Structure 1
């Protein structure tokens, strides 16, 4: 008897899509997007960053980064300033409103993570982490 199972890559891909979609909806309900969260989280963790360094951390191009920063600037979540000693770069900084937004969105992200871990024991969670790391390493080979 041949047991047919869903290929592992397809199962992981479908799961990732559901996980990402749920996170996108949770952030949208809080008035944000995943890119906005990633920018705010990086600035909250690392302090002011050059726009190019921020784009590199997020793995996006300069124009894409500019697009997201424009939206965040319009919401008064960040400021961008050109230092007097290097007019070719911009330093991105969280505003007070941006820091408050970070705290609010961090709560959303933590709630999402709690939902993902619901029903898992600590041992199961650690085993899942280890397996995902192994699978990811297989892709790199």
Structure 2
């Protein structure tokens, strides 16, 4: 029977991510939104007139879940959806002035949260953490990290 001498890294990472995600959502709620609303706002803002399917992929949620969020956000006056004139089966999503205002407020909330999260951590440590996150993602996806890192470096 396998008994690790230390907590498995996956469990530690999952628990840490859960705590940070809750704290981020709490910060977003205090800022007048939520993590899902922030995810949609930043994706729409960064991609401009994205289609709903592209938006779901960007946010990392299923289409039905996105539709639920978009319906609520549209009812709250944060965004509009309209048919794409080039393809009537697709909907284009745009922020309203109220959506822009909430985006700016939540952006400040996200910046403050990021500062809090980075407190006491130097740039070298952040770079190492990002490198480790990339390696962990590659390990679970089956990617060859050496090949991927070489390609990113242009080798």
* Same fold? TM cut 0.5: yes
Take 1:30 and 1:13, find their aligned partners in 2: how far apart are those partners?
Answer: 25
Take 1:89 and 1:28, find their aligned partners in 2: how far apart are those partners?
Answer: 31
Take 2:116 and 2:87, find their aligned partners in 1: how far apart are those partners?
Answer: 45
Aligned CA RMSD, in angstroms, stands at 1.6
Structure 2 runs not aligned, ≥5 long? 143-155
Give the total of aligned pairs.
139
Aligned to 2:12: 11
**TM-score normalised over the length of structure 1:** 0.90
Q: CA deviation at 1:120?
A: 0.6
Take 1:35 and 1:62, find their aligned partners in 2: how far apart are those partners?
Answer: 13
Deviates more, 1:19-28 or 1:59-68: 59-68
**TM-score normalised over the length of structure 2:** 0.83
Which structure's relative contact order is higher, taking Cα pairs within 8 Å and 6+ residues apart?
Answer: 1
Cα offsets for 1:6-63 (capped at 9, x unmatched): 1111111111111111001111112212111111001111111111221122232222
Which 4+ stretches in 1 moved above 6 angstroms? none
Take 2:121 and 2:47, find their aligned partners in 1: how far apart are those partners?
Answer: 31
Deviates more, 1:33-42 or 1:79-88: 79-88
Q: CA deviation at 1:84?
A: 4.3
